Structure 1
Amino acid sequence: MKLSKIFIAIISTASLFQSCSNYTDIKTGGALTPGEYENYRYLMNNMGVLERSIDMPDMTSDDIEYLDTTMQTSLALSFRNAYTWSENFYDATSEDPDWGLLYASNYYCNLVIKDVMSSTDGTLEEKEGLIAEARVHRAYNYFTLVNEYGRQYNEATAATDLGVPLILEPNVSITPVRATVKAAYDLVLADLKSAIADLPAKPRYNIYPSKAAAYALLARVYLQMGNYTPAGLYADSALSIQNTLLDLPTVATMPLRLDNPEIILSKKAGQSHAYSAYQVLSSDLLSLFDTNDFRYSKLTRDLTTNGKTFRVNNMESLNYENRNIGPSVPEMMLVAAECKARNNEVAAAMEILNTLRAKRFNPGDLILLNASNADEALEIVIEERRRELMFKCARWFDQKRLFNDSRFAKNISRTNLVTGQTAVLEPGSNRYLFPVPLYNIQLNPSLEQNPR
């Protein structure tokens, strides 16, 4: 059984791997002997499975807005459905890539965690390191899944709120049911904390998990939970290892993900980079930008269609590579700043933001941010998160956690310009839960659908 599982995974590796000259010295296949440590190393080298992630939360967030009928109708049906938070995003014959890709990645992780220690060669240190990598990837996957398809973490209800199935065995015949939100978070935290000791501080390539990556993901998880003290501490730990920022005004060519010093753990958006060229910035997001901000002038651009001009995402057009949505140095700075603002460390929070913004403006155009109190500081931090993390799938998760706070809560409405129907997304609404894919419910009727 073990050998057949390895062969299945290796075959998948060969078919999914996407070649790139920057990755030519990362082994992903070859003549493999079942039971050897190298088999498992090759599985954890597979960027086609382990690096690939989600992108639908960008479509559902308030960072995007389609006010033109032609642009709406040009979207794939699943994107149109997601844009208006419809009852289902996909029909029963279509797989949901966000769901499918992350569970496929977890199969690899579970296989390594369960079986690598029984491999015939490799040192104990190498095997423990590989298990640690698998735990970090699995933690990322389950945190992402539970925040797409489960309710926002609430300590009072997390033990009963439905999350996602937690599959911990490399066995495709398992018929899972949905675990609770608390169970998912408990697993994520346990995986990340147990991995730290066996990881290098920084990896050779940012597709590999590291101590910095585990710390960064812990910061992301605790922030989503509203546990700001550990979130800030873990963000600081990540930044103590990796803290390099790109100076956008002086960057002639945007580096690829593999070479980007800001990326702590590379996770690429799931869809083709061509799709992002039609991510239209909402008027709400546009209003937050100074046109001297290089995140505006370089990372977005005008798109004219049918005589109308829109401002759209330009990140992936700069190097024709899918954008990173994994943890990064700027994200950790923003986590640290938010936690300081919430702890009434106003000056410290503004100092972090101004350090970040100094790399986003020409010196003569930089206006330093100031806040007179903690509430104002927090609002400024949240606005900076929107600018810095736009189209990184962060805003949707921020809406889920922030809109429970009356200071940030708001209704969002969208109109399907083909049918004329308007949908309203209210704070805490069931529409904040992605529908469980009908395709998977059809295969496994024990999966309970989310309410609408």
Structure 2
Amino acid sequence: MKSLLLNTIKIAALLLVMGLSSCEKYLDIVPKGKKIPTTLADFDALLRDEYGNQRMDITQAILLLNDKFETASNLSYYKLYNANYNWDENADRIAFNNSDEGTYYNAYTAISTSNLIITNAGSATESSDADRKQLIAQAKILRALNYFVLANYYADTYEEATAAGKLSVPLILSADIGAAYTQVSIKELYDFMLKDITEALPDLRAQGATILHANIGSAYALAARIHLQMGQYAQALSAANEALKQNDKLYDWTEFYNKYKTQIEAPDQYVNAPSPMGYDFVENYSFRHGGRQYSSTEVNIRTDRATRFEQGDARFASRWKLRTVGADTYFKSITTGFYNYGGFTTTEVYLIKAECQARQNDISGAMNTLNAVRVKRILPQYYTALSATTVQDAVKLIQRTKGNELILGITPFADMRRLNKDPDYARTLTKTENGVSLSLSPASHLWTMPFPQGAIKNPGNGTITQNVNK
């Protein structure tokens, strides 16, 4: 396997220094211009490295969902893009995945940094014991979050009956180059993620040093997400409620829309309003970038994807606007700034809670929780409180809102994968592309991404088995 620290470890001597069993093995000579971390601040600098450790590239999942508009030139140039975007069952995505490795190596970069901190920050100087424990706990949450992305990208979704018998992804517990690892089962990986969270919670605080640092709320939000993915609704509901005790604020997108209404509604005007979804977003438990970590606009949205938003959705209308350029018509991004695609927000936790309430037959409670989110999104002239009479109807309404609210993050992809295993909720995606009708079956192998060729051809001190045939 490639060096997992290649893109993130800016203190190069760490590769040789960390993870050793005794102080006698530390380097006697520090490479010129480099520094061996000794203080807590040194280790903390690694955790908050936004380019290396605080971004989450899930491009292929977004393309598969058709949650963005992709240009014909990109589809022509990037064969893997085209295979996923146009649901080509015959494409050899393994052969195509020789350069699109961002998801895999970004995640394992952050995991490697987490491993380094977990192993070594306990002896950091210029800090209290509580501060050292907190940083180690934050690294465990970061590690578990990245394993969740990997598990729901490169392996089958969790099913209790089969999880112990199917392979997931490599479980790597060391930052050392050449460290041994095992490609564990799906069940083993999920158990490990929950273990990391359980161990971390006692040492976390209500607030971290920055919004990049995990806190109590983000740990419970991650636990709720994982338990929901496992179909453990009581545990997910309990964790969601604990997260909401830490923060239950919801941003009012109707107010944002009214504030910028003139420029949003002006014909042929695409002046960018500031994104409210950045570091100081009121809904944040913790923040993490998507594939990019610099201030920018969002991706553009397909016109058929836009139809799945509710009428009067101020959140959608505040972020995208219909535009035609040449032969292309799409919804163009009209905000600029930063976007919390990879962290945790109260909206996700509210909607996890709503689904868990519905699954446990508290349908009215589920609808109340769902409507608490919707009333902050749907413009008053369009808003009507939703109701449901069956669990299935309630879950479908919740998922409609959740898929729209969390668009461009990993959650809609993970949700659809788990729901596709249930005939009550499985859904075939359809579209028309260049006059051709296309569809994506709930049972398609395309829902699992192939490991990149770099990982397969250079596995290091372990073995990796592809989880798909193409």
The TM-score normalised by the length of structure 2 is 0.82
* Cα distance per residue 1:281-305 (max 9 Å; x no partner): 5x2x433333321123112221312
Q: Tell whether the 8 Å contact from 2:241 to 2:353 is kept in structure 1 after alignment.
A: yes
Q: Counterparts in 2 of 1:13-412, with a 5 A limit?
A: 34-56=37-59, 57-64=61-68, 70=72, 73=75, 76-83=78-85, 84=87, 86-88=91-93, 91=96, 93-94=98-99, 96-174=101-179, 176-251=181-256, 252=259, 253-271=274-292, 276-281=298-303, 283=304, 285-312=305-332, 314=333, 317-412=334-429
In the TM superposition, residue 177 of structure 1 has moved relative to its aligned partner by: 4.2
2:399 partner SS: helix
Q: Tell whether the 8 Å contact from 1:95 to 1:439 is kept in structure 2 after alignment.
A: no
Residue identity in the other structure for 2:160: E
Distance 1:388 1:120 in 2: 43
Match of 2:446 in 1: 431
Residue identity in the other structure for 1:198: D
* Cα distance per residue 1:261-310 (max 9 Å; x no partner): 112121211147768433425x2x43333332112311222131224422
Distance 1:301 1:171 in 2: 48
* Cα distance per residue 1:61-116 (max 9 Å; x no partner): 154566xx836646744422332364326747525000000101111100011111
In the TM superposition, residue 142 of structure 1 has moved relative to its aligned partner by: 0.5
Alignment gaps of 5+ in structure 1: 14-29
- Identify if the C-alpha distance between structure 1 residues 78 and 369 changes in structure 2 by more than 3 Å, giving closer, same or farther: same
1:184 partner SS: helix
- Identify if the C-alpha distance between structure 1 residues 92 and 301 changes in structure 2 by more than 3 Å, giving closer, same or farther: closer
Distance 2:82 2:433 in 1: 8
Distance 2:444 2:289 in 1: 28
* Cα distance per residue 1:360-408 (max 9 Å; x no partner): 1333332111112333222211111122122223221111100111122
- Identify if the C-alpha distance between structure 1 residues 412 and 87 changes in structure 2 by more than 3 Å, giving closer, same or farther: farther
Residue identity in the other structure for 1:269: G
* Cα distance per residue 1:324-344 (max 9 Å; x no partner): 232211110000111111111
- Name the count of aligned residue pairs: 423
* Cα distance per residue 1:132-165 (max 9 Å; x no partner): 0000000000011011001111111111211000
In the TM superposition, residue 416 of structure 1 has moved relative to its aligned partner by: 7.8
- Identify if the C-alpha distance between structure 1 residues 377 and 209 changes in structure 2 by more than 3 Å, giving closer, same or farther: same
Q: Tell whether the 8 Å contact from 1:72 to 1:417 is kept in structure 2 after alignment.
A: no
Q: Tell whether the 8 Å contact from 1:88 to 1:437 is kept in structure 2 after alignment.
A: no
Q: Tell whether the 8 Å contact from 1:245 to 1:329 is kept in structure 2 after alignment.
A: yes
- Identify if the C-alpha distance between structure 1 residues 300 and 12 changes in structure 2 by more than 3 Å, giving closer, same or farther: farther
Distance 1:50 1:112 in 2: 12
- Identify if the C-alpha distance between structure 1 residues 92 and 325 changes in structure 2 by more than 3 Å, giving closer, same or farther: closer
Match of 2:269 in 1: none
- Identify if the C-alpha distance between structure 1 residues 254 and 119 changes in structure 2 by more than 3 Å, giving closer, same or farther: closer
Match of 1:17 in 2: none
- Identify if the C-alpha distance between structure 1 residues 65 and 136 changes in structure 2 by more than 3 Å, giving closer, same or farther: same
- Identify if the C-alpha distance between structure 1 residues 77 and 414 changes in structure 2 by more than 3 Å, giving closer, same or farther: farther
Residue identity in the other structure for 1:82: N
1:363 partner SS: coil
Q: Counterparts in 2 of 1:1-20, with a 5 A limit?
A: 9-11=9-11
Distance 2:329 2:97 in 1: 36
Residue identity in the other structure for 2:57: I
Alignment gaps of 5+ in structure 2: 14-32, 260-273
- Identify if the C-alpha distance between structure 1 residues 275 and 292 changes in structure 2 by more than 3 Å, giving closer, same or farther: closer
Residue identity in the other structure for 2:349: M
In the TM superposition, residue 175 of structure 1 has moved relative to its aligned partner by: 5.2
Q: Tell whether the 8 Å contact from 1:265 to 1:328 is kept in structure 2 after alignment.
A: yes
Q: Tell whether the 8 Å contact from 1:137 to 1:209 is kept in structure 2 after alignment.
A: yes
In the TM superposition, residue 204 of structure 1 has moved relative to its aligned partner by: 4.4
- Identify if the C-alpha distance between structure 1 residues 423 and 354 changes in structure 2 by more than 3 Å, giving closer, same or farther: closer
- Identify if the C-alpha distance between structure 1 residues 368 and 132 changes in structure 2 by more than 3 Å, giving closer, same or farther: same
Q: Tell whether the 8 Å contact from 2:279 to 2:340 is kept in structure 1 after alignment.
A: no
Q: What is the percentage of aligned positions where both structures have the same residue?
A: 26
Of the structure 1 ranges 83-92 and 425-434, higher mean CA displacement relative to structure 2 is found in 83-92
Distance 2:190 2:459 in 1: 23
Q: Tell whether the 8 Å contact from 1:247 to 1:359 is kept in structure 2 after alignment.
A: yes
Distance 2:58 2:323 in 1: 21
- Identify if the C-alpha distance between structure 1 residues 412 and 249 changes in structure 2 by more than 3 Å, giving closer, same or farther: closer
Distance 1:364 1:306 in 2: 34
Distance 1:159 1:196 in 2: 26
Distance 1:176 1:32 in 2: 28
Q: Tell whether the 8 Å contact from 1:58 to 1:395 is kept in structure 2 after alignment.
A: no
Residue identity in the other structure for 1:9: I
